[in-house]
């Protein structure tokens, strides 16, 4: 049965077409916000833009809802905490409109520096006074960028085309990123402001707020651009500094209140260019945002971790590596939960040397989710794994004892119980089982696996094979392992398809059989 998705605002034909390949879709150019509460509970996912808010009250009591998506970079109109508590994945489209936003910042900047708006009005009124509208060039000017993320990097790229001197402040970005984008790194915001003849900001709402004190640090005659988020700059202070002549011009695409009040002091300043939040509004950006959002929603509904999942610490990895680790985590978590369902409060996770350190917080959550899914009646997934783990008194310690293998591997065991250790790795494009209950194995992990835990006595393997034949089940591969002769043994069988009902019960009645597990 296909999932149902509600699209509340225009998404673009490319994004809608992708959604409709995989789901039933009800799409609106603009759904009246008052209708959303009565509709949202009927869908597996909802996609919004700017006209709707996803609040706690809106999602409480809607157990069907699994995904909330914001077709854009920000998620300011989504209650992230509430979604996380309820295990609802939040998707956005970071960077899909980065080029559009960066180009718009320069469009605004050039409009104010070259008097485009004032010159246009002058000509429309019949004037032709060229001397009254002398402008300034970008060439050689010192550009300061606050926030060297996806948009900020595109701004730096464009600035180099104008032969500008580029500097940037971003405490969350490594020096290598600054160097790669030809931007001088400033360690503190004040130093950047003092050096910037032109200032542009490209941060989320959590970025620095530029009040009058900070804005006064800009050189006299500086220009200021905000095409990122409203509220990042004190708009009254901008108007005051313009009136004093400290600033030469201001260009704004976003405002603390949208639309801005008509009595805003900015409206009285001729050296201001304003647009109605158009930064990401291009046909190309709309298509990119729509497709990225649609793919993230569908992947999440299919149980795949997308790179644009907001309320999970997704590591900054290339998509193939992310999906490989995702597959590895799911296989290990599912197998461990099946073999060791009793929660013993503390897990020991040991990553291989090829596991990126930045991926560990996400891996930790993913494994906890896999472990708890079989224990709780309510929804448990990677989104709310840490919350549910705390409620259950479960924790995971990441171990680095210097003995981890030189490969992309993960091992998991209950603390103090090395006999529960399971190790898997990602090799040659597939998950491999390396240790099962601390017994060595070497096999590609199959889609359908039958595992027996039995006494190491003659005849059991033969009886298992006989029963599978009686149930018309074909064994693709068979792997055996044991701790010592005559003690406990394990057998992992690769099956071509899920076996019929009754097989596992029949296997459990074999004398000497300790446990039977089917993973499919």
Say whether 340 is catalytic. no
Q: Which residues pair with 488 in a beta bridge?
A: 455
Taking each continuous run of H as one helix and of E as one strand, the counts in the chain are 17, 22
Per the listing, tokens 């508590």 go with 85
What is the side-by-side order of every strand in the sheet holding 475-482?
475-482, 488-495, 449-455, 513-519
Per the listing, tokens 């006989």 go with 466
Pick the catalytic residue from 160, 277, 334, 498. 277
Cβ proximity of 283 and 10 under 8 Å: no
Pick the catalytic residue from 258, 284, 358, 497. 258
Say whether 229 is catalytic. yes
HSE-CB for 170 with a 13 A CA cutoff: 28
* Cβ partners under 8 Å of residue 430, min gap 6: 444, 445
**Whole-angstrom Cα distance, residue 399 to residue 269?**
60
Pick the catalytic residue from 153, 202, 229, 434. 229
* Cβ partners under 8 Å of residue 170, min gap 6: 146, 147, 148, 149, 152
Cβ proximity of 300 and 272 under 8 Å: no
Q: Give the residue among 422, 430, 485 at the shortest CA–CA distance from 451.
A: 422
Tokens of 381: 């997934």
Q: Give the residue among 161, 103, 26, 162 at the shortest CA–CA distance from 284.
A: 103
Hey, is 6 helix, strand or coil?
Answer: strand
**Whole-angstrom Cα distance, residue 304 to residue 297?**
10
List of long-range contacts for 256-265, beta carbons under 8 Å, 24+ apart = 256/230, 256/231, 257/230, 258/230, 260/235, 264/235, 264/239, 265/235, 265/236, 265/239, 265/240
Distances in whole angstroms, Cα of residue 410 to Cα of each of 85, 358, 480, 504: 27, 15, 21, 29
Say whether 321 is catalytic. no
**Whole-angstrom Cα distance, residue 326 to residue 369?**
12
**Whole-angstrom Cα distance, residue 502 to residue 508?**
10
- Beta strands at 165-169 and 184-185: parallel, antiparallel or unpaired: parallel
Tokens of 160: 């180099």
Q: What is the dihedral of CA 288, 292, 298, 302, to 10 degrees?
A: 150
**Whole-angstrom Cα distance, residue 432 to residue 444?**
4
Q: Which residues are catalytic?
A: 229, 258, 277
């Amino acid at each position: 049965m296909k999932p149902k998705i509600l699209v509340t605002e225009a998404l673009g034909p490319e994004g809608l077409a992708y959604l409709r390949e995989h789901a039933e879709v009800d799409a609106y150019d603009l759904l009246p916000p008052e209708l959303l509460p009565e509709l949202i509970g009927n869908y597996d996912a909802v996609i919004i833009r700017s006209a709707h808010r996803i609040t706690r009250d809106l999602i409480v009591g809607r157990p069907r809802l699994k995904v909330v998506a914001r077709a854009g970079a920000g998620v300011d109109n989504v209650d992230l905490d509430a979604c996380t508590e309820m295990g609802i994945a939040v998707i956005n489209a970071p960077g899909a409109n980065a080029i559009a936003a960066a180009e718009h910042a320069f469009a605004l900047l050039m409009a104010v520096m070259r008097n485009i708006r004032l010159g246009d009005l002058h000509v429309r009124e019949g004037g032709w006074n060229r001397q009254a509208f002398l402008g300034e060039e970008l060439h050689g000017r010192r550009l300061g960028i606050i926030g060297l993320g996806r948009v900020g990097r595109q701004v730096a790229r464009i600035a180099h085309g104008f032969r500008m001197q580029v500097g940037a402040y971003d405490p969350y970005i490594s020096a290598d990123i600054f160097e790669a984008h030809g931007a001088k790194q400033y360690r503190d915001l004040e130093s950047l402001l003092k050096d910037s003849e032109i200032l542009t900001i490209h941060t989320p709402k959590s970025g620095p707020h530029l009040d009058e004190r900070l804005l006064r640090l800009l050189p006299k005659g500086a220009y200021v651009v905000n095409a990122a988020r409203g509220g990042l700059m004190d708009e009254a202070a901008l108007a005051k500094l313009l009136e004093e002549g400290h600033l030469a011009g201001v260009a704004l695409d976003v405002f603390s209140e949208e639309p801005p009040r008509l009595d805003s002091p900015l409206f009285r300043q001729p050296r201001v260019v304003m647009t109605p939040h158009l930064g990401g509004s291009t046909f190309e950006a709309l298509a990119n945002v729509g497709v990225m959002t649609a793919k993230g929603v569908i992947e999440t509904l299919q149980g795949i971790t997308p790179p644009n999942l907001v309320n999970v610490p997704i590591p900054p990895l290339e998509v193939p590596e992310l999906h490989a680790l995702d597959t590895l985590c799911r296989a290990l978590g599912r197998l461990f939960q099946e073999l060791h369902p009793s929660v013993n409060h503390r897990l020991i996770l040991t990553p291989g040397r090829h596991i990126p350190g930045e991926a560990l917080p996400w891996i930790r959550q993913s494994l906890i989710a896999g472990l708890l899914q079989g224990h709780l009646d309510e929804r448990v997934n990677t989104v709310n794994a840490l919350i549910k783990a705390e409620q259950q008194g479960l924790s995971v310690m990441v171990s680095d004892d210097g003995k981890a293998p030189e490969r992309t591997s993960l091992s998991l065991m209950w603390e103090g119980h090395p006999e529960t250790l399971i190790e898997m790795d990602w090799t040659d494009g597939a998950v491999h089982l390396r240790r099962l209950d601390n017994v060595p194995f070497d096999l590609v992990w199959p889609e359908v696996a039958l595992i027996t835990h039995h006494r190491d006595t003659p005849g059991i393997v033969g009886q298992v094979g006989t029963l599978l034949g009686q149930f018309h089940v074909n064994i693709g591969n068979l792997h055996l392992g044991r701790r010592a002769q005559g003690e406990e043994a394990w057998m992992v069988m690769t099956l071509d398809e899920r076996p019929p009902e009754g097989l596992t019960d029949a296997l459990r009645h074999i004398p000497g059989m300790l446990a039977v597990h089917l993973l499919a």
